[in-house]
Structure 1
Amino acid sequence: MTENKHQVGVLLVNLGTPDEPTPAAVKRFLSEFLHDHRVVDLTRWLWCPLLHGVILPVRSPKVAKLYQSVWMEEGSPLMVYAKRQRDALAKQVDMPVALGMTYGTPSIIQGIETLEQQGCEKVLIVPLYPQYSATTTAAVFDKVAKSLKGRPCIPELRYVHHYHDHPAYQSALAASVKRHWEQHGKGDRLLCSYHGIPQRFADNGDPYPQHCQQTTALLQAELGLPDDAIMMSYQSRFGREEWLKPYTDKTLEGLPAQGVKTLDIMTPAFSSDCLETLEEIAGECRDIFLEAGGEAFRFIPCLNDDKAHIDLLAALVADHTQGW
C-alpha cells in the first residue's frame, strides 16, 4: 500500500499471552500482567514481595502446564486468532491493521510503530473487550499513553470504549448460538460466563457488571428466549476477596439439581478463545458440571475470526473513523 502521511491505521489490542508454554515465559508474562495497578491495586510494598516470593514461583509452572494443554500448532490460541482477526479485518477495511498486546509481545508501541511505518499518522485503538472495564479497556488506554510518553511527535488517536450493545456484536453472538443449536441441539439452559472482577472495583464505579448484564439481556432478546432459558455468571476469580457473583463454578455445581442436565455455555466477554475459555470453561468447568450430575456440557466457541465478528470490527472501524 502506498504511503500517505494522513493515512488511518487500526490497532487491535488484546490482553496478551506468553510467547511459549514454558514456566519461564509464563513467569515473564504474569509478572508484567500482575504488576499493573489496574489489575492488582494493592500497595506495592505489600504486593511485590508476595508476587515475586510466592505467587510467580508457585503459579508459573502450573499455568505453563495449562497452556501446554491448549497450545495450538501455530502458537497460543489467543495469538493465533488475533493474527487471523488482523489479517481478515485488513482485507475488509482496506487500511493498515496491526496488533498490540497490553502485556507481552507484540507490545502496543510495536503495533503503533508498525502502523507508522506504513505511513499512518492517525490510529484507531480497538480494545477487543466488548464490555468496558478499568481492568482491561482502561489498562489499554494507560499503556498507550505510557508507550508514547516522551516522544516528540505522537499520532492522532481515537479509541473504541465498548461495543457490547452494538447491533453487529449482538447479531454475531446470536448467530454463533443458533449455529451451535443447529449442529448439537438446544440445551436445557444457556449460560453466559463472563470474566470476573473484584466486587470492590464495581462498587468504586467500574461499569463492567452493567455491561455484562446488558449483553445478556440483549442476547436474550435477539434469541427470543424466556427468562428461565438463559442466565449469567462470572469466572476466573483470584485471591480471597469477594468478586462479582454468581460464580461460574458454584453455578455449575448447582444446576443439575435444578433439572438442568444439558447445558450450553458461552463466554461473551472474550473476543478470542484462550486459556480462560479452552482450559477453564471447556475443561475444568465441564468436569464440575458433569461430576455434579450434568449429562451434556456444550461449549460455544468465542467469535474468533468468524466472518460475523470481522463484520462487527469493520463496522466499529467505519463508525469511529468518520471524518478522518
Structure 2
Amino acid sequence: MMRRNDPAPVGVLFTNLGSPDDTSVPAVRRYLREFLSDRRVIDLNRAAWLPILYGIILTFRPRKSAKGYRSVWMDEGSPLLVYARRQVAGIQARLDADLERPVHVALGMRYGNPSIESGLEALHAAGCRKILVLPAYPQYSATTVATTFDKVSEVLEDWPEPPALRQINRYHDDPGYIAALAASVREHWAEHGRADKLVISFHGIPKRYVKQGDPYPRDCGITAQLLAAELGLSRNEYKVCFQSRFGREPWLQPYLDETMKTWGADPEINTVDVICPGFSSDCLETLEEIREENRGYFEQAGGESLRYIPALNDRDDHIEMFARLIREELAGWV
C-alpha cells in the first residue's frame, strides 16, 4: 500500500496539437492523415469521410500546407514545437525552484512527434506514479482537450498498472492568463501604436458541434470579455471572430477572413490589431493564416495595415501562469 509520504516523483504531461516532422510533402501528408482521421476532429460517417480524405484531401492539400509550413518554419523546427519545448523547460525550472518534491514535466503532442505515448513513457521511466495532464488549450473543446484525454486513455489501456491521473480541462478565465494577454497587447500598443480596431480571433469549429454540446464558444466569449475589460475597451473597439474553417458546412461566425475583407474596404478602419488567445504558441494558424493570409485580405481590400500580436509563447508571465496552475492542481500530491 502506498504511503501518503511516498517519495516517488510526480509527472506532468504538457500537451499541444502537434505539427509535421519537417516541411516535406510526405511529412505533411502523414501529419494531416493522423489529424484528419480523428473522429473528434471530423465526426462524419467514416464510409463517407475516408474516401474524401484519402482520395482528395491527402492528394492535394499536403503540397499547399507544406508551402505554408515552409513560410513559418524556424531554425529549430516547427514554431509550435519550438515554443512548446521552451514552455516545458521554463515550467520545469520554476517547479524545481518552488517544490521540494521532484516533479517531472514531459511534452507530448496529440498528433506527430513527440507523441503523447512517448511523453507518458518518459514519465513512467522517471518513476512517476501520479500524472497531471495539461493540454495547452485555454478554451475547452472536444476537438482539442477531449481528444487529448482520449489518447492518454488509449495509451494507458495496455499498461499493467496505469498511474493515478488528474487533468486540467481549461483555463480560459484564469486571472494570470488574462493578465498576460493584456500585457502583450499593451506592449504591442506601446511599440506600434493602437490600431483602429482590435480583433480577438479564435480557431473555429462547426456549428453542429456546438449544437451537440461543445461549450467552446462560451469559453471563447468569456476570455474575450475578460480581456476587453482588462484593457478597458468598449464594445465597439473590439470584435470577436473565428478563423481556420474547413469544408462547406457552417462554422462559428463571424468569419475572420470575411470580416477583414469588409473592414479593408471601410474608409473609417485603416489599421487592425489581431490577437489569437486560443493559441498558447504561435503556429501555422497564426503566423501564416493571420500574419500573411488575412493581412493580405485586409490590405488588398484597401486597409492600411493589419498587425498580428504574437501568442504568449514562452513569455515569463505565461510560464509562471502554467507553473501556478500546476502547483495548485498538484495540491495533496506534492
Taking structure 2 as the reference length, the TM-score comes to 0.95
- Where does residue 58 of structure 1 map in the other structure? 60
Match of 2:237 among 199, 220, 229: 229
Contact 1:5 1:120 (C-alpha < 8 Å) held by counterparts = no
CA distance in 1, matches of 2:75, 2:53: 31
Match of 1:285 in 2: 294
Alignment of 1:1-324 (within 5 A): 6-94=8-96, 95-256=103-264, 257=266, 259-324=268-333
* Other structure's SS at 2:58 match: helix
Distance 1:321 1:216 in 2: 28
Q: Which runs of 4+ in 1 moved over 6 A?
A: none
- How far 1:119 sits from its partner (Å)? 1.8
Q: Distance in 2 between matches of 1:61 and 1:277?
A: 19
Name the SS of the counterpart of 1:27 in structure 2.
helix
Q: For the residues of structure 1 that align with 2:197 and 2:51, how far apart are their CA atoms?
A: 44
CA distance in 1, matches of 2:58, 2:169: 32
Question: Alignment partner of 1:232: what SS?
Answer: strand
Which amino acid letter does the alignment assign opposite residue 39 of structure 2? H
2:41 partner amino acid: V
More displaced 10-residue stretch of structure 1: 98-107 or 258-267? 258-267
After superposition, the C-alpha distances for 1:66-125 in whole angstroms (9 at most, x for unaligned) are 111111000000000000001011000112111001111111111011112222111110
The code of the aligned residue for 1:74 comes to: E
* Distance of 1:149 and 1:28 partners within structure 2: 25
The equivalent residue for 2:3 is none
Please tell me whether the aligned partners of residues 5 and 121 of structure 1 are also in contact (alpha carbons under 8 angstroms): no
Q: 1:30 Cα shift?
A: 0.4
Higher mean displacement: 115-124 or 8-17 = 115-124
Q: 2: CA distance between counterparts of 1:25 and 1:45? A: 25
Give the C-alpha shift of residue 39 in structure 1: 0.2
The CA distance in 2 between the partners of 1:211 and 1:90, in whole Å, is: 28
- Percent of pairs identical after alignment? 52
- CA-based RMSD of the aligned residues comes to 1.0
> Size of the alignment, in residue pairs?
321
The answer on whether the counterparts of 1:5 and 1:119 sit within 8 Å (CA) in structure 2 is no
Give TM-score, length-normalised by structure 1. Answer: 0.97
Instruction: After TM superposition, give the deviation of residue 6 of structure 1 in Å.
Output: 2.6
Residues 222-253 of structure 1 show CA distances to partners (whole Å, capped at 9, x for unaligned) of 11111111111000000000000000001111
Q: Secondary structure at the match of 1:272?
A: coil
Which whole-Å deviations, capped at 9, do the CAs of 1:151-177 have from their partners, x for residues lacking one? Answer: 111111100010010000000000000
Unaligned runs of 5+ in 2: 1-5, 97-102
AA of the residue aligned to 1:322: A
Equivalent position SS for 1:255: helix
* Corresponding letter in the other structure for 1:105: N
Match of 2:100 in 1: none
Q: Distance in 1 between matches of 2:221 and 2:119?
A: 32
